[in-house]
A and B are shown apart, each in its own frame.
Chain A
C-alpha cells in the first residue's frame, strides 16, 4: 500500500502540487486522472522518488520514503516496476535483453533461470517471438508490452504506468489496459496509472484520483464516477458527447 499525506511540490515560484493526500491499495488498479498540466506526471515522479518535494510524506507499506537511507530507498526501488509514457526501452539492447536487465542487475540467477523467466513474461504479454528484435523494430503497442514485461519481470510489489495508452489505437489500448489489470490481480501488486484516457477510467479504474490545478479535486471508483455531481470531474470526464450519453444511459439503468 502507498500512502501520500499533504504532498507539496514547487518549481521555483510555481506551486505544482498543493497538499495532495490519498492512498493506493494493494491488489487494486488506481488511476490518477486530470487535464494536461494538472500535476499528474509531477505527482507520479514524486511517488517514484525522481523529484524531491517540499512538504508532506510518501510511505510504502508504512515506511516513509523520505526518512529512509539510500540503501533502504534502493531496496524499495528494486521492488518498483515502471512503464514510461515513451516506453523508455534501452535502444542498444534487444527486447529480450531489455526484459532481462532488472534480473541481471538485482538477482543472482543463472543465465538459464533468467532466460526462463524472460520467456515466461514475454509469453505473458504475447510477445513470445520478439526476443531478438531491437526496440526500434517494434511497433508502439509492442514497445508498451515490452515495457510492461520489463516492469514485472522481477516480480515487483508496486507498478507505476505513465499514460500507458498514449499514441496507441483504441483496440491496442484496451489490450494494454486489460493486461495491466490482469497482472495487478495475478501478482497482487499496488498499481498506479497516470492517464487521461476515459476508456481506461471506465474499464479498470478500481480507484480514481482526479487532480485539478495541483489539488485533489475528487476521488472514487469507476462506479461512483458515474454518480458524482462534482463539476470539475463531470466537466472533464464527460466533455465528449459519447461519454455524456454513456453516463445518461448508466444513470437511467441504475435508477
Chain B
C-alpha cells in the first residue's frame, strides 16, 4: 500500500510541478542556479569517469579478442557501441543518481526540516513548482553532459588502445566509423531525456515529502538514490525493448 501511495503521490507532484508557476523573473535565477549546480557542476566527474571507463572497455575488449581472424578495428567498433548505447546514457545516469540525486534530496529535505518549505507555502507560493520545476528545466540540458561522456569515453578508449599497443590509430578510427547507425544516437538521447526527468523528479519527491530531522534527510537521500537507480534500470529495459528490438 505504501508503494502505491508513493507512486500516486509522485504523479500528483509531477502534475503540481506545472501548476501556479512562479514569476519568470524569479524562476529565471533559480533555473540558472540549478544549471550551475546540476549540469556544470557535474562535468568534472562525468569527464573523469567517462575517459577512464572508455579506456577500460577498450582494454577488456582487446584482451578478449584473441582470435587472429577477428580484425583489430573491432576494438574501436565495440568501444563505440558500448559507450554510445549503454555506458554514457545509462551508467552515467546511475552515477548522477548518486551525485545529483542526493544533492537534490538533501537540499530540498533540509528545507523541509528547517520549515523553509512551510514558509513558501504560507506565502501562497506553489513550493513544488518553485523547487522542482527549475531542476527539471536544468536537467533538460543533461543530453549535453551525455554527449561529452560519449566523446570522452571513445577518446579514452582511443588513448588506451594506442598507448596500450592493442591496435593502431587507423584501426581504431576505422572501427568507430564502422556500420554507424545514426538511430543509435537518437535512441541514446531518448533514454537520456527520460533519465533526466527521473533524476529531477524522484529525488525531489523524496526530499519534498520527507518527515523527521537531519537523520531522515540522510535516509531520504539513500532511498532516493535506490529508487532512481531502479527506475532508470527498468525504463532502460523498456525503452531498449521498444526502440531496438
Number of interface residues of A (CB under 8 A): 25
B116 touches A77 (CB 8 A): no
Q: Which residues of A contact B121 (CB under 8 A)?
A: 50
Q: Which residues of B contact A70 (CB under 8 A)?
A: 20
A50 touches B26 (CB 8 A): no
Min CB distance, B38 to chain A, in Å? 14
Which of B22, B33, B115 has the most chain A CB atoms closer than 10 A to its own CB?
Answer: B115
**In the complex where A104-B26, A105-B23, A105-B26 touch, is A77 in contact with B123 (Cβ < 8 A)?**
yes
Which single member of A85, A91, A92, A102 contacts B123 (CB below 8 Å)?
A: A102
Which of A76, A80, A82 has the most chain B CB atoms closer than 10 A to its own CB?
Answer: A82
**In the complex where A77-B124, A91-B114 touch, is A82 in contact with B119 (Cβ < 8 A)?**
yes
Chain A residues 65 to 97 lying within 8 A of chain B, measured CB to CB, are 70, 73-78, 80, 82, 84-86, 88-92
CA distance A27 to B125 in the complex (A): 26
Chain B residues 115 to 151 lying within 8 A of chain A, measured CB to CB, are 115-116, 118-119, 121-125
A84 touches B119 (CB 8 A): yes
Q: Which residues of B contact A76 (CB under 8 A)?
A: 124
- Residue B2 at the chain A interface, CB threshold 8 Å: no
- Residue A1 at the chain B interface, CB threshold 8 Å: no
- Residue A48 at the chain B interface, CB threshold 8 Å: yes
In this complex, what residue of B is CB-closest to A45?
B118
CA distance A49 to B70 in the complex (A): 71
Q: Which residues of B contact A106 (CB under 8 A)?
A: 123-124
CA distance A78 to B115 in the complex (A): 18
A84 touches B118 (CB 8 A): yes
Min CB distance, A112 to chain B, in Å? 15
In this complex, what residue of A is CB-closest to B19?
A70
Min CB distance, A82 to chain B, in Å? 5
Number of interface residues of B (CB under 8 A): 18
Q: Which residues of B contact A80 (CB under 8 A)?
A: 122-124
- Residue B25 at the chain A interface, CB threshold 8 Å: yes
Min CB distance, B93 to chain A, in Å? 26
Residues 152-194 of B, flagged 1 when their CB comes within 8 A of A and 0 if not, give 0000000000000000000000000000000000000000000
Min CB distance, A177 to chain B, in Å? 21
Q: Which residues of B contact A90 (CB under 8 A)?
A: 111, 116, 119
CA distance A91 to B26 in the complex (A): 16
In this complex, what residue of A is CB-closest to B122?
A82
Q: Which residues of B contact A75 (CB under 8 A)?
A: 124
Which single member of A50, A89, A102 contacts B118 (CB below 8 Å)?
A: A50
CA distance A121 to B63 in the complex (A): 71
Q: Which residues of A contact B110 (CB under 8 A)?
A: 91
CA distance A90 to B122 in the complex (A): 14
In this complex, what residue of A is CB-closest to B121?
A50
Which single member of A73, A77, A84, A104 contacts B115 (CB below 8 Å)?
A: A84
B125 touches A48 (CB 8 A): no
CA distance A104 to B20 in the complex (A): 16
Min CB distance, A110 to chain B, in Å? 12
Residues 146-169 of A, flagged 1 when their CB comes within 8 A of B and 0 if not, give 000000000000001000000000
Q: Which residues of B contact A77 (CB under 8 A)?
A: 122-124
CA distance A86 to B112 in the complex (A): 12
Min CB distance, A202 to chain B, in Å? 28
In this complex, what residue of B is CB-closest to A79?
B124
B22 touches A50 (CB 8 A): no
Instruction: Taking A74-B124, A104-B23 as given, write out 11 further A-B residue pairs in contact, using a Cβ cutoff of 8 Å, ordered by the A residue number.
Output: A75-B124, A76-B124, A77-B124, A78-B124, A80-B123, A88-B114, A88-B118, A89-B116, A90-B119, A105-B125, A160-B122
Selected A-B contacts with CB under 8 Å, 28 pairs:
A48-B122, A49-B122, A50-B118, A50-B122, A74-B20, A74-B124, A75-B124, A76-B124, A77-B124, A78-B123, A80-B123, A82-B122, A82-B123, A84-B115, A85-B115, A88-B118, A89-B116, A90-B111, A90-B116, A91-B116, A92-B33, A102-B123, A104-B23, A105-B22, A105-B26, A105-B123, A106-B123, A160-B122
